[in-house]
Structure 1
Amino acid sequence: LTKVYAESIEEVDEGTIEALRASGAGFWQIVFQAVVPASISRMVAWTFMRFEINFTNAVAMGAAAGAGGIGFQLFMAGSFYFNLHEMGFLTYVVVIAVILLEFCSTKIKAKVK
């Protein structure tokens, strides 16, 4: 994320920064009036994308490596206990969590734009 944040900050239009400097703006005024508004939407989008990837990796690692969490519970219900009701319930919990995550990220991205 740090690399993507740095790239989005580097893509800020130099003309805007120069105009603020010419009008006597200080460092923090340039940051909050030019850099943050121009790069915040990309930063938020990348942050949520990485969060979603980390969520799916955590579920997969819990199932594959027995690292714990809901992925491990899915693995145990499907492979060890053969409890399809519990496995179905946990699958619904994961799907609902992903839908809520996507809904929240869409709302926040819309506010930032």
Structure 2
Amino acid sequence: MIEALRACGASWWHIVFQAIVPSCMTALLSWLFIRFEINFTNAIAVGAAAGAGGLGFQLAMTSSFYFDFHEIGVLVYMILAVVAILEVVAIRLRKKYIIHA
């Protein structure tokens, strides 16, 4: 495909966005979403361990200070829902950008 674009006189940017990016889109999306999930998990862990704020801090405070088990349940379900939504979006985007040869 790159040779065909070069033969037609395509510029470097056309080659990148017409041949290279579409061929590696699924790998880029997979990497993007795995990094986002890792950062989300780390944010919750740091918030719980260091008191840095966010959902992790709220989870740590409700479990160790307030002992409000209903709020702990709600926070855990919220975290699971966010992770599930991220996974569904990632799967749909991967299916959309799979290149059929």
**Normalised by the size of structure 1, how large is the TM-score?**
0.81
- Counterpart CA distance in 1 for 2:96 and 2:33 is 14
Q: Which residue of 2 aligns with 1:6?
A: none
Q: Which residue of 2 aligns with 1:100?
A: 85
Q: CA deviation at 1:75?
A: 0.2
Q: Which residue of 1 aligns with 2:51?
A: 66
- Counterpart CA distance in 1 for 2:18 and 2:78 is 41
**RMSD across aligned C-alpha pairs, in angstroms?**
1.1
Amino acid at match of 2:87: E
Q: Which has the higher contact order (CA 8 A, sep 6+)?
A: 2
2:15 aligned to 30, 39, 61, which one?
Answer: 30
**Normalised by the size of structure 2, how large is the TM-score?**
0.89
Return 5+ residue gaps in structure 1 as ranges.
1-15
Identity %: 55
1:26-79 CA deviation, whole Å, 9 max, x = no partner?
A: 222211221111111111110001001001111111100100001100000101
